[in-house]
Structures are given as structure tokens and as C-alpha cells.
Amino acid sequence: MPLKLPQLLKGICSSVLAFNTLSFPTGGRSLFSTPQPPKQPYTAADLKEELETIIKDKKVTPVYQPIVNLKTGIIMGYEALSRGPVGSPLQYPIELFNAATNNGQLLALEQVCREAALSNLHNLGVNQRLFLNMNAEVVRDPNFRGGLTKAFVIKQGLNPEQVTFEITERTAISDFDSFCKSLNHYRAQGYSIAVDDAGAGYSSLQAIAELRPNYIKLDRSIVHDVDKDPLKQAMLDAMTKLAAVIHSKIIAEGIESADELAILISKGVHYGQGYFLARPGFPPPEIPQEVLEMIAEYNFQDVQAKSRSRKGLGVSIGEIVEQIPTVQPSTVVSTVEEIFTIQQTSGIVIVDGDYPVGLLMKDKLYYQLGTNYGISLYHRRPVDRVMDKKPLIVNAELPLEAVSQMAMSRDDYHLYDFIIVVKDERFLGVVSIMSLLNNITNLQIRRAHNSNPLTGLPGNLVIEDRLKELVEAREPFAVMYLDLDNFKAYNDKYGFERGDRVLLLTSQVLSRSIGKAGSADDFLGHIGGDDFIIITKPESVQAVSESIIELFDREIIGQYHPDDLLKGYLEGKNRKGQTEHFPIVSISIAVVINQLHMFTNYLEIAEVAADLKKLAKQRAGSCVVCDRRGARA
């Protein structure tokens, strides 16, 4: 049963209160924050005078930090951040806004910052947003008036739908009623609302519940090392669920590592912001290509993992059913007892025509017959009086793991009862708990044996199964066989440990390229050694191949000593024991497309690929060879 909003908030609040009692080594600041200058002995009067000058002369400089769609890598908007004059005691935002708060100039400063942010952003896309910070307490200022920002927005050629006000107050908002009225005024004009610092304390959660914002910005304290902290991951799950309930989107602030990015993508966080993606700057910065490739790779890995989870171990419950006796509901118990004695079965399914309506296990029947007057009460009665009328009945197409979870969640009395399997609602057979668990164990062992221990990618048996499915389906496909050139020489020179690093790098390059240029349905496997396989769509071959070669050639040079790179080769012994110069490791790709051949067996694909690989090996450097020949006679 879905959680209601109050229940969800209560659970999150408990986590937040527990989390905020922990020490945070960076004091809540970014690990990459600009170092603050040594404190100068400025008096309050000095700071007030400096603040008034900044406001009067509008000496505020905006910088912009991208907010990135973590599915696509597209910049959805920018947060405008303000800086005071360089060398000023109020250069940095903390000192600047503290001075404004202490001197009752928060509204005036915010207005100057907004105007600077709007007037300096010239290339905002029609589908992009500008996030403007707004302290919750400015609405209490007697000089606060709505409409000023809208006029300036329109003057800059933007529309209110492109502007999001980001509520930045960490402390409790003193008067939610008046504050909500003010925000509703902005919403009525087309602006959207974001709540900042979510998870930093109860106040932000209260704001989420009261304001129902369009965006929830996760506090840096949650994002920092989220990949290493199960408590933070639980909070992330809870916040994502909360966002779904109130139709909001999550923005993770302060992303500073690839591992943080990966876990945020896997948890379904919508948008991200942080130094790892791009630092604040002017003009507004772009996202580096390598980061875009990581986003594509992590999304591909996430889709593949979820796909494997949905497919489970690849075996459905209908494939392991056993046949046992069936009887009609009117069959008397004495007859059923004879069936148990003669056929040595542990259970009988009661069917009405072809449809199961009950189950009777042997031990359950004997227990009832063994009670006082059991024989006289039940022996001549129809079996529907003693059968279980609500047995576990499952569809034949369900994966084994799903059925296992359902079966093991039954009460202890029925835990070891047969599982009835149906197809199109008709009785197909039964599965015992022992059979179910044995099959799951054997399949898990098989999967473990057929996953490469280094890369974790599916191995030969899984690859063969996938190729067989493709041949039988007769739908368009392309199989890309990939292997490394001059890899043996590299292993001989640098050792197996460094060689394993190259193989792992190769698997990452392939995964990243599929994420960038392929599709979620593509398959990546590790045949063994330096041989890999990709199954994709014919129309994706060129883009995936180009991405692989570009990435591999760029990354492989980092695996060589500078002296060897300078020479451009390694000196080693060939298979005949002769000294030879081996060029830098490259990658060869042989592509087989079934639009040119009518394959009847998956082994035929490998035969065509072997010929193509020979051609590829004859070429220098990384290359791709596609089969252009017609079907064989």
C-alpha cells in the first residue's frame, strides 16, 4: 500500500535527525570550495559601508553553474551565484549575505543580484531555466513588492516560465501562511519553486510538505560520499519517493566524484549539479565531453542491471513444473486417501474442469483425519471440505526468483505446500519448494561460472543463449566481435596485473560507447581474454564503432610508460622467438549483420566473424570491418 505524504515525511524526518547528529568532515562545504581569505579586522561599520557601496553601485558579479539532466547529460538550466568585488571583505557570498542580513539590506541585495543574473545571461535556451536564490525572510521586508522581477525578466527577453526561485533559508520559516501567499503570487505569474538544502534539517522538509515545490535540491551533506554510506542511500530513496508523491523533481547538489554520480543515476535522481560536472563560471560553462560519456555509460549500466533483474535467472516457473494427480471437488476424502497411498505423492490439486480451485497436501489431510472423530467427520465428505481453498497459484511466465519471494512469504503452516502453476488460468503443474530452491541455486552457480571474474560481464554460455535467441527471432541485428591487437606483447612487457587493467579499461570503453551511441537493449559480453562481443541494431554500428575507437585510442596511451609512447612500440619476441617491434595496443572490430545472411545457426555468425577478424588484423591501428558480402551459396 503506497505511503501517504505525512507517513513518508515522518520517516524521512527520523532519518534526517539521525543523520544530522553525525559529524560532517567538510563542515557542510564543498570539498572543492574556494579557500576563504584570512579574516581581516573589519568593523561592523566598515562592512556596512562596503555593503551600501556594493548595493548602490551594483558591484555584484554573477557566475553560473549548470544543472544537468542525469539521463541525457543535457543542461536543463543554470543556478546564478553572486560574488562581491574582488579583494573586498564581502567578495564571498557567505560574508556578503551575512552583512546584508545584519544590516537589514537582504531584499535590496537580492534585487541587485537578480538583475545582474538576468542581464548577464544572454544565451539561455527556450527549454532551459535560470535558478535565482531567494531568502525566505525577504517577504517579511515592508519594502517587498511582487512584480518587480517579472518586469525585468520580460525586459531581458525571457519569460517567467524560464525562472525558478530557489528558497535558501536553512532555519524554520516563521510564518508559513504569509510566505505561501507570496510564493503563490510568483507561481500565478508562471515562475516555478525549488526548495534548497533538503535533508539539512527539519525546516526544509516542512517547506517541502507546505510548498509542494517543483524542484527539491538535495543538500550537499547527503550527496557527499553517498556511494559509501547506506544511511545516505536510504535517505536518497526516501526523498525520491517523496518527490514522486508530490510530482516534484530531485536535483542533487555538490556532486564531486564519479562514484557519487553513478549512485545518483542508479537511484533515479533527475538532475545534478556540482564541481565534478562543471564549476560555476562566466560565461556559463559547458559540460566536459568525458563527463557526458560517463553519464551515458552509467545510464547504460543502470538499464542493463535493471533489465537483468527483471529477466532474473532467465528461467520461468512454468519450465520446471511437475505433474501430480488431480481430482474434482466432489471426490470423497476416502478416495483421495487411496490416491495418496497408491501413487506416493505428497499433494493433490483439486480442479474444476481445467481450472485449479484448491490444494490438499498429504500431511495436512492426515493431520485432520488423526484428530478426534476425524475419520467419521471427513472420510465420506467431498474433498472441498478439507482442501486449502487459497493455495499459491502463479502464472507460468513468472521468473523463479519472483515465485520464490511469494512462496517464502507464506505463513509457516503453508510454507512447504506445493505451488500451483497455471497457463491461461488452466492447470499446468506444480512446483515444490525443494525443486524451486534447487533450481535457483543451480542457476545462480551457472550464472556465476559464466560471468567473467575480472569484468563481471556475461560469459560464453550466456552469449550463446543470446545468439540463439537472435537467430530464432529473425529480426535485424548486428554482432560486433572485438579483440585487442598487440595485447600479448603488452602483457609480456608490463605483466598480467597491468594487462588486467587494460582489459577492464576495454570493458569500460565498450560500456561507455554503448551508453553514448547504442540503446538500452544492446548486449555486451566478454568471450574471454581480450575478446569481447556487442549485439546491437544495424543502424547503431557506425556510431558505436566510432565511439569505441575514439575512446580506446585516447585512453590506452595512459597505460604506457612515456618512453615506450615516445618510441611508439614495444620490443619483444614474436611466436617464432624473433625480436619484433609491436605497436601500441589497438582494437579491431568485426561486424556481422544478418540482413546480408540468413543464419540458421549461431555458429555460422562466428564463422563469418572469423574471416572478418583476419581482414581487420591486417590493418594497422584500431579499425572496423563490416561484412559487405551477400549470402553464401
The grid coordinates of residue 70 equal: 542525469
Q: Looking at this protein, which amino acid is placed at residue 17?
A: L
The residue written with cell numbers 544565451 in the block is: 123
Confidence of residue 195 (pLDDT cuts 50, 70, 90): confident
Residue 399 lies in a domain: yes
Residue 237 lies in a domain: yes
Query: Same domain for 570 and 606?
Result: yes
d(CA 66, CA 74): 10
Give the helix/strand (H/E) hosting 516.
helix 496-517
Query: Same domain for 411 and 460?
Result: no
| Contacts for 424 with CB less than 8 Å, ≥ 6 apart | none
% residues pLDDT > 70 (the chain)? 86
Q: 601-619, pLDDT tens digit by residue?
A: 888 888 888 889 888 888 9
Query: Same domain for 500 and 424?
Result: no
- Taking all residues of the chain, what is their mean pLDDT, rounded to a whole number? 85
The residue written with cell numbers 471426490 in the block is: 331
Residue 440 has pLDDT above 60, yes or no: yes
State the residue range of the domain holding 569: 453-626
CA 340 to chain centre: 52
> CATH number for the domain including 518?
3.30.70.270
Query: Same domain for 424 and 461?
Result: no
Query: Same domain for 613 and 469?
Result: yes
The grid coordinates of residue 581 equal: 617491434
Confidence of residue 315 (pLDDT cuts 50, 70, 90): confident
- What's the mean pLDDT in 164-179? 68
Residue 19 has pLDDT above 60, yes or no: no
- What's the mean pLDDT in 9-32? 48
Q: 132-151, pLDDT tens digit by residue?
A: 988 877 766 666 665 567 77
> CATH number for the domain including 358?
3.10.580.10
For 7, 115, 217, 251, 338, the CA distances from 213, given in Å and listed in that order, are 18, 23, 10, 12, 68
Are the C-beta atoms of residues 300 and 520 closer than 8 Å to each other? yes
% residues pLDDT > 90 (the chain)? 47
Query: Same domain for 413 and 522?
Result: no
Residue 1 lies in a domain: no
Confidence of residue 199 (pLDDT cuts 50, 70, 90): low
322-336, 403-417, 526-540, 543-557: which range is least confident on average? 403-417
d(CA 134, CA 164): 10
| Domains of the chain: total | 3
Residue 204 lies in a domain: yes
d(CA 541, CA 592): 10
Are the C-beta atoms of residues 556 and 550 closer than 8 Å to each other? no
Q: Looking at this protein, which amino acid is placed at residue 354?
A: D
